[in-house]
Structure 1
Amino acid sequence: MIAGVTRELRAEAERANERRVLALAGDRDRGIDAAYDAVEAAGIVSDDVSIVSTREGFRFEEHRPRHADELLGRTREAVILDCHEQFVPNALGRAVGAVDGGGLLILLTPALDDWPGIRDRFDDSLAVPPYRVDDVTGRFRERLASTLRTHPGVALGALGDDPDGDVLERDGLTGAGRGTDTGTRPTEADGDAAAGPSAPPDARFPAAAYAACRTDDQSRALRAFEALADPESAVVVESDRGRGKSSAAGLAAGALALGGDDVLVTAPGFRNAAEVFARARELIEGEADGERGGVDRDDRTGDATDRDLRTPAGGRVRFLPPAAAAEAAGEADTAVVDEAAALPVRLLEGFLDAPSVAFCTTVHGYEGAGRGFAVRFRERLLDSRFAVRDVRLDEPIRYARNDPVEAWASRALLLDARPAVDEAVADATVDDATYRALDPADLLADETLLGEAFGLLVAAHYRTEPNDLARLLDAPNLVARALVADGRVVAVALLAREGGLDAATRREMYEGERVRGNMVPDVLTSQLRDEAAAGPRGLRTVRIATHHALRDAGFGSRLLDEVHAEFGDDGAGDGGDRVDYFSVGYGATPRLLRFWRRAGYRTAHLSTTRNDASGEHSAVMLRPVTAAGRDLLDRHAAAFRDRERDGLSDAHRDVDPDVVRGALRACAAPVAVDLTETEWRSVVGASVGPGMYDSAPGAFRDLALAALIEGGDAADLDDREERLLVRKVLQGRPWESVADDLGFVSTSACRRALGDAAAPLVERYGTEFALAERERFTDD
């Protein structure tokens, strides 16, 4: 039975240049045997097959479920995904993406009726303390099983104890490709049909680059990339997954490097840019072979992990992580940003310093996360000095346009999840919106609700994966809340229960053990050395998103107010739901710091290093509810205040002054200004007399910290004066650097401005002695 249906599936897939799924449900050992039979019946050699499994000893290429990223950029005739023992949703996405047109994805699963109730190693990862694996649900697998039973292109076999007991529930055949060759992939026997598009007569890139294109869409993108050879040119390439945008970018990068250019490439991670480097390397090596009549492997540019490719003309293609690349963009000839939608807008703006720049982004799928690129950064780009060219790729590279497996994967993993269309929410108002819980059972029963809610979460964050969908549906520590207007989701919050851990677990955390799913307690305990921090119960905002058509209209604040009322502020959270504090951790920007401060959150920590992808320092903020929550905030606010007095001239010396201002303004621990008479003489002298800042920098530091925590209005300081206090007094930067950063005409003017800024500090915090000292210089 299995052999017969596999032969038919394979034949139809090859005729239509599409892919097919063969799901084998039942006993694991029988499934593995059946998978071998299926590969043999399909006529696929073992070298063209990969298996993802926790077991070893197969004759196929092997990958562990947690390391399925190794399949990225690979093309396989068949991939076998063993879903027994450890089913990782991310691995399913990687496995689907690796199957070539005409190929098969073979799934080995437990019996579909039983699968949702089976707990495995992935479920263990969802059972974050204090929850246990029995608290994890199986809704994600229930939904996945439903798609296997209903979606076109999926064959389903129920395995018995022996082959005679196998039952074919679905044959997966769609009728595609019968009587036509339109979907068939060209082969070398077809001559010119297999060759890539030819180069335009006036092409600036090598003909080999165009010959390497697989579709006319790719050729058009490559033609647009030629503009990068000219300064002040920008190219934006958008596509769905699997359309070859990264390949086109790699060919362009290689061509520019062959011409002597320094091409700087970045992406959220190097694995995201692996295809860019693979295609750049192939082009560079191919041109070198042509010029030299072939070169030894040792003389070539390197292997698949190379992050710096060199050319005989002195050009190069090099990779840097996003934050470092944004800082170095102005030093390169061209910057190429792959998966640009997965990076924050603030970081993307750094690439506008490059002489020319390309932004490549996925339209649908998790890589195309943030709407920030499409909505906010596009406006910034169009207003810049760059001449912008847009290209969209629609034609799939490795399989036909209507491939049913692409549609199945998009549905099963919600790769095409998106918020409601703008027109559907355009008239929504905060007052008319209804607050509701997004119970996982309701999400499972309502695909529209699930798609809109998850689409908002994807759009709000630059890194979302299939595993996150499973967490939303199954993780016991997560809850979701939303605002709904006219039946459409307009704002959503994903919340994680944290803390409430027993003494033994707290001790392990303090001694260095990582406790999953308790981000804020872990930071406060292991990094900040507070063993009691994981005792109080918290509710952390993992993500909060408002529909992009309703930004800045108050929906996010209203949603938070409702969450606060439900779980704490109004005491409505009975039955074990009430928490001791609310928390949030995020990449700190001035805008976000203001938002969370206005929502009642106060700073407990600012990370000492930047996130590689966002380029931002992470802030942790708390909003207490109970006495236990207030005690937790009080001690960590005081610790934060004391750390920053010295840390701003050390680990935080390069933090954006507006981020420092925002973090300190949200600190709940005031500074007690207690200066000696000698220190007051120096401060007063610097502000209204002949004194100097350098005679008492510690005194100025105490005053600056007090003023920034209390807020500029209280001390009568404007924005530039506050930035001056941060840059010079707290971060201890050289006068020349401070004057340049803040736009002073000279260091002397900068010094005078600091003296002027000290005058209101004397007025606000000065003792009787200090005020009397001031009178000596101000009396007529």
Structure 2
Amino acid sequence: MELAARLRAQARRSDQRRLLVVTGEAESCRERARAALDATDVGPGETTYVGPAGEFHCESVARHEADRLLGQSREAVVIDCHERCEPNTLGKLLGVVSGGGLLVLLAPPLAEWPDRRDGFDRSLAVPPFEVDAVGSTFRTRLVETLREHRGIVVVDADTGEIEVDGRFEAPPRLPDPTPTPPDDSQFPRAAFAACRTADQAAAVSALESLREPGTAVVVESNRGRGKSSAAGLAAGALAHDGTDVLVTAPTRQSAGALFDRAEELLDTLGGVSDAADLSPSTGSGRIRYERPAAAADLPGSPGVVFVDEAAALPVRLLESLLEAPSVAFTTTIHGYEGAGRGFSIRFRDRLADSDHDVSECSLAKPIRYAPADPIEVWSFRALALDAAPAADQLVDAATPESVRYRRLSGAELGADEHLLREVFGLLVAAHYRTDPNDLARLLDAPNVSVHCLFEDGHVAAVALCAREGGFSAELRERVHDGERVRGNLVPDVLTSQLRDRRAGEPVGWRVMRIATHEAVRSRGLGSALLDHVRAAARAADLDYLGVSYGVTPGLAGVWADNGFGTVHLSTTRNDRSGEHSVLMLDPLSPAGEALFDRHSEWFCRRAPAAIRESLSDADPAVVRAACRTARATPALDLSDAEWRHAADTATGRAIFETAPRGPQRLCFRHLVDPTEEPFDADQRELLVRKGVQGQSWERASEAVGFHSEASCKRTMGEIIGRLVDLYGEDRA
């Protein structure tokens, strides 16, 4: 196929990438694509096919395994979109194609593609919706961008007719000057010799400051600029110098480029002696990976921590990593991994307030392909990777009284690119897990609704809500028997984990995301938006609003102030966020009240034992926040003997451990529903650690800061005595 050869030649001359779209029925597209690649100089060993197995004589990767290509480079990548067109897969694979390479997209005829339903559409059709309820806005928009952007050729698989000819000649890429190390550099010259651009060498030089404790470095760039490689070279140089380097990232695969560059440098400098981690053949340094939740505890007391793709991790976890002597954060500004601007908004203030001396650098010049690459331009538009909130000055006058509420449909968003970019940009900036799949979800998912506050026509706040519940009796029974139901978190948890057969019957909205523009935070706009969402839910005859999130004291208080109450606290940490999730409800109807009341009461009955059994190591502030926001009164069902024991524990005549249930129930009652707060901060922490979590005297004493266990026990006695006075009445 001469067209593909010419397209490949254009790409190689400019060191840019080109996109060949082959349209038609699946097998015809595969045959045409095989012929096209055979006509180029790209060999099977330089090509990866992503789609159904066995279709190409080259590396074949299933869609769900696309993550393993992150950080790697190919001359050609074929993405078969007939069975499933998933935005995240496109976002991941676009960066795999190197300069001079071809991205080949296999798709149904463009005129028909938006209305064809595929596997990704089925994932958006969460119960009780069927796949025919899924919209077509995302793929309509995708097709429009394929027709409009240069560097893209669309060809009919059956006829060979060129439907869109976006070929153009770009100037050849000029060679980059060889980077030179700074005169005062302490890193080996080989680290700088391995750099591809002056930007990358400058980043390695900036990371050299990590040799001194008390430093932090932030490295930002778009994809393909070599920030992870720069981090890998710096990590290798530090390990060669004897430093214990800990690396964390959303996945081990996403840190692949960092480890590859570190290994190459260590080989150059004297070999690698450990295959699991990376260790120089001489010296005591090493480089090792830990999952984010585990890395937060800084296992092994590393000297330096590298956080790759930091924007994809939650702020609370990033804050814990500031306990390391030195730490580096690399982050993508525009990419499916997360947004650098979101990282800036959420975390930079915390970083600035830390004890670290902070420096930062950015990489602008691409390494993997030449500047002005047309496929990068197309991907930013098609996947809204560079979407951003409205400029600060456009919304900075917003107040709850001045804003206007609108509920937006996917069709409205798809028809207004400016509006879409403001809505999605605000979500990306405010939340660490917003990705291209979310773009398709807010445009086309039948269970998702978009709610906004506008200041003078610009988005000041946005909330995404998911409709949940309304299950048939048959589905409720299947879920109770263990079947998982997608996209229905509230009824799924309440039914499968908490064993409530009726939980799937009421219908509610779960607040999936809510974000307020950075320029107008702390003005009550989030609460105002929730009031509008609540009114819209009531108008739609819904039974409740729900929310689930990684609980922190601040967030729990905000949701409680807006009428939500805790009904569940997870007993395990989320692997990615490192946090315990809390589930809260705000009832809107009699059916919602019944659901809320029985689960509030059930939470208060089961939580004391669950906390002692599975949450004894949790942050006491988290336990306090989750319990304090429950809207129920725990029963004090103590026997006369338990009341006597509690009263005597207060005076020292009885031992806490002899009959702990009474003191523990008193402590939990006060934690959830205090009649007053007579305790100082240390006493409140001890009440949780010993009275609710059941920690040992030694551990609780050390954690709170008592000079002896005896002092800790006396204070606990005083706490129990005060609780007996508060709740015991005449019986006690």
Give me the TM-score of the superposition, normalised by structure 2: 0.96
Corresponding residue for residue 438 of structure 2: 468
Aligned counterpart in structure 1 of residue 207 of structure 2, from 210, 225, 234: 225
Deviation at 1:383, TM superposition (A): 2.8
The amino acid of 1:697's aligned partner reads P
Provide the rounded CA distance (Å) in 1 between the counterparts of 2:615 and 2:140: 48
Aligned counterpart in structure 2 of residue 26 of structure 1, from 20, 24, 27: 24
Corresponding residue for residue 750 of structure 1: 712
Deviation at 1:330, TM superposition (A): 7.6
Provide the rounded CA distance (Å) in 2 between the counterparts of 1:674 and 1:301: 59
Contact 1:155/1:171 (CA < 8 Å) preserved in 2? yes
Contact 2:91/2:336 (CA < 8 Å) preserved in 1? no
Corresponding residue for residue 234 of structure 2: 252
Specify every segment of 5 or more residues in structure 1 that has no aligned partner in the other structure, as ranges. 187-192, 290-298, 771-780
CA 1:401–1:128 in structure 2 vs 1: closer, same or farther (change >3 Å)? same
Provide the rounded CA distance (Å) in 2 between the counterparts of 1:47 and 1:537: 52
Provide the rounded CA distance (Å) in 2 between the counterparts of 1:689 and 1:258: 58
Specify every segment of 5 or more residues in structure 2 that has no aligned partner in the other structure, as ranges. none
The amino acid of 2:68's aligned partner reads E
The amino acid of 2:372's aligned partner reads N
Q: Once structures 1 and 2 are overlaid, which stretch shifts more, 277-286 or 672-681?
A: 672-681
Equivalent residues in 2 for 1:272-287, closer than 5 Å: 272-287=254-269
Alignment deviations for residues 415-441 of structure 1 (CA, whole Å, 9 cap, x no partner): 111111212211111211111012100
Deviation at 1:311, TM superposition (A): 4.1
Aligned counterpart in structure 2 of residue 151 of structure 1, from 135, 149, 152: 149
Residue 450 in structure 1 maps to residue 420 in structure 2: yes
Corresponding residue for residue 408 of structure 2: 438
State the secondary structure of the residue aligned to 2:487.
Answer: coil
State the secondary structure of the residue aligned to 2:9.
Answer: helix
Q: Once structures 1 and 2 are overlaid, which stretch shifts more, 238-247 or 320-329?
A: 320-329
The amino acid of 2:49's aligned partner reads I
Aligned counterpart in structure 2 of residue 639 of structure 1, from 598, 602, 609: 602
Residue 492 in structure 1 maps to residue 490 in structure 2: no
Residue 709 in structure 1 maps to residue 703 in structure 2: no
Aligned counterpart in structure 2 of residue 585 of structure 1, from 536, 548, 555: 548
Provide the rounded CA distance (Å) in 1 between the counterparts of 2:142 and 2:417: 13
Contact 1:602/1:667 (CA < 8 Å) preserved in 2? yes
Equivalent residues in 2 for 1:519-558, closer than 5 Å: 519-558=489-528
The amino acid of 1:674's aligned partner reads D
Contact 1:364/1:416 (CA < 8 Å) preserved in 2? yes
Contact 1:366/1:463 (CA < 8 Å) preserved in 2? no
Deviation at 1:540, TM superposition (A): 0.6
Corresponding residue for residue 402 of structure 1: 372
Deviation at 1:49, TM superposition (A): 1.3
Residue 763 in structure 1 maps to residue 725 in structure 2: yes
Corresponding residue for residue 612 of structure 1: 575
Q: Once structures 1 and 2 are overlaid, which stretch shifts more, 248-257 or 336-345?
A: 336-345
Contact 1:116/1:138 (CA < 8 Å) preserved in 2? yes
The amino acid of 1:168's aligned partner reads I
Provide the rounded CA distance (Å) in 1 between the counterparts of 2:278 and 2:129: 46
The amino acid of 1:581's aligned partner reads Y
Corresponding residue for residue 722 of structure 1: 684
Alignment deviations for residues 380-410 of structure 1 (CA, whole Å, 9 cap, x no partner): 3223322222111111111112111101001
Deviation at 1:491, TM superposition (A): 0.8
CA 1:308–1:500 in structure 2 vs 1: closer, same or farther (change >3 Å)? farther
Equivalent residues in 2 for 1:157-556, closer than 5 Å: 157-159=155-157, 161=158, 165-177=159-171, 181=172, 183=173, 197-289=179-271, 301-302=274-275, 306-307=276-277, 309=279, 311-328=281-298, 331-369=301-339, 373-556=343-526
Provide the rounded CA distance (Å) in 2 between the counterparts of 1:736 and 1:482: 51
Contact 1:277/1:307 (CA < 8 Å) preserved in 2? no
Provide the rounded CA distance (Å) in 2 between the counterparts of 1:371 and 1:556: 20
Deviation at 1:715, TM superposition (A): 5.1
Equivalent residues in 2 for 1:593-632, closer than 5 Å: 593-632=556-595
Q: Once structures 1 and 2 are overlaid, which stretch shifts more, 403-412 or 207-216?
A: 207-216
The amino acid of 2:630's aligned partner reads C
Provide the rounded CA distance (Å) in 2 between the counterparts of 1:370 and 1:237: 10
Deviation at 1:736, TM superposition (A): 2.9
Deviation at 1:723, TM superposition (A): 2.1
State the secondary structure of the residue aligned to 1:428.
Answer: coil
Contact 1:538/1:582 (CA < 8 Å) preserved in 2? yes
Deviation at 1:592, TM superposition (A): 1.0
Contact 2:342/2:428 (CA < 8 Å) preserved in 1? no
Deviation at 1:62, TM superposition (A): 1.0
Provide the rounded CA distance (Å) in 2 between the counterparts of 1:689 and 1:336: 51
State the secondary structure of the residue aligned to 1:740.
Answer: helix
State the secondary structure of the residue aligned to 2:676.
Answer: helix
Deviation at 1:117, TM superposition (A): 0.7
The amino acid of 2:357's aligned partner reads A
Contact 1:330/1:353 (CA < 8 Å) preserved in 2? no
Contact 2:652/2:717 (CA < 8 Å) preserved in 1? no
The amino acid of 2:561's aligned partner reads R
The amino acid of 1:171's aligned partner reads D
Alignment deviations for residues 209-231 of structure 1 (CA, whole Å, 9 cap, x no partner): 21211111111111111111121
Contact 2:342/2:431 (CA < 8 Å) preserved in 1? no
Provide the rounded CA distance (Å) in 2 between the counterparts of 1:381 and 1:516: 37
Larger radius of gyration: 1
Provide the rounded CA distance (Å) in 2 between the counterparts of 1:485 and 1:67: 43
Deviation at 1:690, TM superposition (A): 5.0
Q: Once structures 1 and 2 are overlaid, which stretch shifts more, 402-411 or 351-360?
A: 351-360
Corresponding residue for residue 732 of structure 1: 694
Deviation at 1:81, TM superposition (A): 1.3
Contact 1:254/1:283 (CA < 8 Å) preserved in 2? yes
CA 1:10–1:750 in structure 2 vs 1: closer, same or farther (change >3 Å)? same
Provide the rounded CA distance (Å) in 2 between the counterparts of 1:184 and 1:506: 64
Residue 741 in structure 1 maps to residue 717 in structure 2: no
Deviation at 1:201, TM superposition (A): 4.0
Equivalent residues in 2 for 1:557-572, closer than 5 Å: 557-568=527-538, 572=539
Provide the rounded CA distance (Å) in 1 between the counterparts of 2:357 and 2:8: 47
Contact 2:345/2:430 (CA < 8 Å) preserved in 1? no
Work out the number of aligned pairs and report it. Answer: 732
CA 1:231–1:77 in structure 2 vs 1: closer, same or farther (change >3 Å)? same
Residue 94 in structure 1 maps to residue 76 in structure 2: no
State the secondary structure of the residue aligned to 1:395.
Answer: coil
Provide the rounded CA distance (Å) in 2 between the counterparts of 1:307 and 1:89: 33
Deviation at 1:327, TM superposition (A): 0.9
Contact 1:607/1:617 (CA < 8 Å) preserved in 2? yes
Deviation at 1:461, TM superposition (A): 1.9
The amino acid of 1:683's aligned partner reads A
Contact 1:715/1:760 (CA < 8 Å) preserved in 2? no
The amino acid of 2:724's aligned partner reads V
Deviation at 1:695, TM superposition (A): 4.7
Deviation at 1:698, TM superposition (A): 1.3
Q: Once structures 1 and 2 are overlaid, which stretch shifts more, 372-381 or 345-354?
A: 372-381
Provide the rounded CA distance (Å) in 2 between the counterparts of 1:412 and 1:391: 28
Provide the rounded CA distance (Å) in 1 between the counterparts of 2:258 and 2:557: 39
Corresponding residue for residue 49 of structure 1: 47
